[in-house]
Amino acid sequence: MRITLLGAGAWGTALAIAFAGKHEVTLWSREADVAVDLLKTRENSRFFPGYKLPASVVVATDFAAAVAAAELLVVSTPIAGLRPTVERLRELGCTLPLLWVCKGFEAGSGKLPHQVVAEVLGPQAVCGALSGPSFAEEVAAGQPTAVALAANDPAFARAAARQLHSRRLRVYANDDLVGVEVGGAVKNVLAIATGVCDGLGLGLNSRAALMTRGLAEIARLGLALGAHRETFMGLAGMGDLILTCTGDLSRNRRVGLALAENKSLPQILEELGHVAEGVYTAREVDRLARELGVDMPISAAVAAVLDGRVNAGEALELLMARDPKEEAA
């Protein structure tokens, strides 16, 4: 299959490496310097150093030509880049099936990725999300990984999952696009919370409690948006949550660790050097939860810390001071 990856950041580069052994891959870069680097050295030293791009991968800077070469498009930008990318596809009159790997709610609109795509390309666009417990570094290194592929067309989801499936990257079809997207979005917020917990030295009991109750928050919001409960027990729910909250490669966890040191958010993001989607998603999740009347105290606490309304220690005290209640999903 001919696959074009739209975006040459860490995930675009990692997936180009992962898909190259089985498919004809084009990697489109918006940044000319990144494309030059990839062409000269086959390495993305700016966004993904240390991993060589196979010689078979075509590096492109011409957007229209890269799209024209494809049978399947994969948007591999952060969520902030999703709308501009699909707007360019609309200008081209593109009707190719489309996947994305970004996770979050669009800042300002609070829309999930599939809602952004439907708004720009129309409800007839065949599209979906590739999500699950996966760090780009380990995918590029060929470490065994399993992810979910959910789409607005179940037949497309099953066909695409079969085509993208490989020995090292297992792809499971899923018919719950909303659930897969909500799981991928909110786990980043909870990873910030667990990073704070670990940074404050509160122990493994506290981390386990945050993750468990955080999963309940994910499920509550997902159900309110029409998701299926069982999705949150799978790869795009529990699986992604466990990885992002405990893995040292997690950018969002690193944000939480730095917040526990009372570093300012601008300083944290500058030192990180990459997008941490949970920073922008937290505010949208908190706002949406309030609008829908969904109880999400951990997510609200993260949003409060990021907005500077409380510090990390104060947020913990507020969470622990909540009245006792029966455990419920």
| Nearby residues of 72 by Cβ (< 8 Å), 6 or more positions away | 1, 2, 3, 4, 96, 97, 98, 99, 160, 163
| Nearby residues of 71 by Cβ (< 8 Å), 6 or more positions away | 1, 2, 3, 96
Set 111, 187, 263, 325: catalytic member: 187
Return the ∠ at Cα 158 (arms to 154 and 159), rounded to 5°: 115
Number of CB atoms found within 10 A of residue 62's CB? 11
d(Cα 237, Cα 123) in Å, to the nearest integer?
A: 25
Token output for 220: 């509550």
Return the ∠ at Cα 185 (arms to 17 and 125), rounded to 5°: 70
C-alpha distances (whole Å) from 120 to each of 14, 231, 311 are 27, 27, 39
Answer yes or no: 52 catalytic. no
d(Cα 160, Cα 94) in Å, to the nearest integer?
A: 18
57 neighbors 16 (Cβ within 8 angstroms): yes
Return the ∠ at Cα 147 (arms to 277 and 168), rounded to 5°: 120
Return the ∠ at Cα 121 (arms to 117 and 125), rounded to 5°: 85
Return the ∠ at Cα 7 (arms to 66 and 111), rounded to 5°: 115
Active site residues per annotation: 187
